[in-house]
């Protein structure tokens, strides 16, 4: 379950005030709150809470095992064994009484040290090397153009959206990504064209089997997805699909809705990922599986670009290992601003179809980026229904394992004030590098 920061804060404050907790109350709080805490700082607060209310007595069974506690501490303090030991001793994590014989404590500490190889995994120096191509200047360069007034908000079907499509296609070409969309006139290309039908009251749908009379009719909007392909080696028929939508809301009453975060941030991330994977390929580090980087249009009209792709896939969906979808990853939402915790990303749907994907994500984050993985919106029952509101959902409908990454909504969501100047590029870079490390490992066959 997702553990709410506010409830944790109340518990911590109440323990400071030395409220009297009954055995039953402490056990209830422990059992309900001991699991699913994704934020490292909160895990330590929780352990302090248990310590403060004397939850280590023989009356109250500890809800976290010794192994789990060591995993918690080693998550962030991976390079400082002395600090890990100080935490173990100072929090009295393994005591059942106020005074623990030194010999027994020493045995516990030595036991924990034997667990280090199981929980601490070395970073891949090759992955680290190419992750450096996902830099703040690279992201800022792409986003400054994608979210510029020149593109007039990139509304699907407009000149601005088509300029963005050409920019993305040229970048894919410049990095040596393969064009895989069959074009009867030009051979393979990067553009996957499709058509949208506009109905009454701003309702839209994809035209799945267009004929001449369909594409020239009233209310028809021609548009396109943009695809770049990196071919794998021994498992090249299997593909990891990484998506972001590059369309936005366009102009309204003279105001340009540039959509820097929504989803210029995701689009810029795709372009930076293209550079990183391309540089790795040039250096001779080809992935085992293939990688498809795809920016889709029509998202703001109802996830239409991804709907068209999943109904007319270039790579068969049964060969699609997973979809990593990136939508709004350049800002900090109000909740995390209040918590002063910008170092996070919301994770949605990662454990729905294959829990191993979620496990790999957590392990990758622990090794490389140390973000707080926030699962608050992952439930299909959440009132905001984010699980259904971005392009990953069209892959999920076809039983393709997915992860949706987002920073959540903020005060500039779907407003003309969603501009480049408000993007947190350091956070965007860190999130983008997490996506790179995860895709790197999936493409190597670790999932």
Whether residues 300 and 407 fall in one domain: yes
Half-sphere exposure of 324 (CA within 13 A, CB side): 28
The residue among 68, 251, 33, 231 whose CA lies nearest residue 161 is 251
Query: What local confidence, expressed as pLDDT, does residue 92 receive?
Result: 47
Q: CA 158 from chain center: how many Å?
A: 29
Q: Are residues 64 and 196 in the same domain?
A: no
Asked whether residue 115 falls in the same domain as residue 130, the answer is: no
Q: Nearest-CA neighbor of 277 among 289, 265, 267, 295?
A: 289
Residues 246 and 195 in one domain: yes
C-alpha dihedral sign at 332, 333, 334, 339? negative
Domain range for residue 61? Answer: 5-119
Chain-centre distance for alpha carbon 61: 35
Share of the chain above pLDDT 90, in %: 66
Same domain, 114 and 163: no
- 83 with 41, same domain: the answer is yes
The pLDDT score that the predictor gives to residue 187 is 80
Phi, psi of 240 (to 5 degrees): -100, 120
Q: Are residues 201 and 101 both part of a single domain?
A: no
Please write the tens of the pLDDT for every residue from 176-209.
999 999 975 678 999 999 999 999 888 999 999 8
- In 3D space, the residue among 268, 318, 262, 324 whose CA is nearest the CA of residue 292 turns out to be 324
- Looking at the structure, do residues 75 and 134 belong to the same domain, yes or no? no
Average pLDDT of the chain to the nearest whole number: 82
Question: Of 119, 144, 172, which residue sits at a domain end?
Answer: 119
The pLDDT assigned to 327 comes to 98
- Single residue among 119, 135, 166 that ends a domain in this structure: 119
| Residue 149 CB burial class (10 angstroms; 0-12, 13-18, ≥19) | exposed
pLDDT at 105: 53
Same domain, yes or no: 76 and 157? no
Looking at residue 254, its pLDDT comes to: 93
Q: Helices (H) and strands (E) in the chain — how many of each?
A: 17, 13
Residue 167 pLDDT exceeds 90: yes
Say yes or no: 105 and 196 in one domain: no
Tell me: do 174 and 153 sit in the same domain: yes
Q: CA-to-CA distance for 420 and 145, rounded, in angstroms?
A: 10
pTM of the model: 0.76
- Distance separating alpha carbons of residues 12 and 80, to the nearest angstrom: 26
Single residue among 79, 97, 119 that ends a domain in this structure: 119
Residue 197 sits in a domain of what CATH number?
3.40.630.10
> Between 275 and 73, whose confidence is greater?
275
CA 65, distance to chain mean position in Å, is 29
Please report where in the chains the tokens 């792709």 appear, as a residue: 309
The tens digit of pLDDT for each residue in 37-53 reads 444 455 454 554 444 44
Looking at the structure of the chain, the number of domains it has is 2
pLDDT mean over 232-237: 97
Q: What is the pLDDT of residues 270-302, one digit of tens each?
A: 999 999 999 999 999 999 999 999 999 999 999
Both 93 and 167 in a single domain? no
Asked if residue 76 has pLDDT above 70, the reply is no
68 vs 178, higher pLDDT: 178
């Amino acid at each position: 379950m997702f553990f709410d920061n506010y409830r944790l804060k109340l518990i911590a404050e109440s323990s400071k005030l030395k409220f009297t907790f009954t055995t039953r109350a402490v056990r209830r709080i422990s059992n309900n709150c001991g699991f699913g805490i994704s934020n490292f700082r909160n895990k330590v607060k929780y352990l302090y809470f248990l310590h403060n209310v004397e939850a280590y007595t023989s009356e109250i069974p500890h809800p976290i095992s010794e192994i789990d506690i060591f995993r918690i501490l080693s998550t962030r303090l991976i390079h400082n064994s002395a600090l890990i030991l100080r935490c173990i001793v100072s929090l009295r994590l393994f005591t059942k009484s106020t005074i623990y014989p030194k010999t027994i404590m020493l045995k516990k500490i030595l036991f924990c040290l034997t667990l280090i190889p199981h929980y601490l995994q070395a970073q891949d120096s090759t992955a680290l090397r190419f992750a450096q191509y996902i830099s703040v200047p690279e992201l800022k360069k792409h986003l400054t153009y994608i979210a510029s007034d020149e593109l007039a908000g990139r509304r699907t079907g407009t000149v601005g959206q088509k300029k963005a499509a050409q920019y993305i296609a040229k970048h894919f070409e410049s990095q040596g990504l393969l064009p895989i969309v069959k074009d009867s006139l030009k051979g393979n290309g990067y553009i996957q064209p499709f058509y949208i039908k506009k109905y009454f009251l701003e309702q839209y749908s994809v035209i799945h089997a267009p004929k001449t009379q369909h594409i020239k009719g009233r209310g028809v909007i021609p548009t396109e997805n943009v695809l770049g392909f990196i071919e794998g080696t021994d498992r090249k028929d299997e593909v990891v699909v990484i998506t972001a939508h590059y369309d936005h809301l366009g102009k309204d009453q003279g105001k340009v809705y540039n959509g820097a975060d929504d989803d210029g941030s995701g689009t810029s991330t795709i372009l930076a990922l293209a550079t990183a994977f391309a540089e790795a390929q040039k250096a001779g580090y080809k992935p085992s599986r293939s990688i498809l980087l795809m920016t889709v249009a029509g998202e703001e009209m109802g996830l239409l670009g991804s709907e068209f792709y999943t109904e007319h896939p270039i790579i068969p969906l049964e060969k699609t290992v997973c979809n990593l979808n990136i939508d709004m990853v350049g800002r900090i939402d109000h909740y995390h601003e209040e918590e002063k915790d910008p170092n996070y990303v919301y994770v949605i749907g990662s454990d729905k179809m294959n829990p191993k994907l979620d496990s790999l994500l957590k392990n990758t984050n622990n090794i490389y980026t140390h973000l707080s993985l926030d699962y608050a919106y992952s439930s299909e029952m959440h009132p905001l229904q984010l699980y259904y509101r971005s392009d990953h959902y069209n892959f999920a409908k076809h039983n393709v394992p997915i992860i949706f990454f987002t920073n959540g909504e903020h005060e500039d969501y779907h407003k003309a004030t969603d501009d480049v100047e408000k993007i947190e590029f350091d956070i965007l870079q860190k999130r983008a590098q997490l996506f790179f490390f995860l895709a790197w490992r999936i493409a190597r066959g670790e999932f």
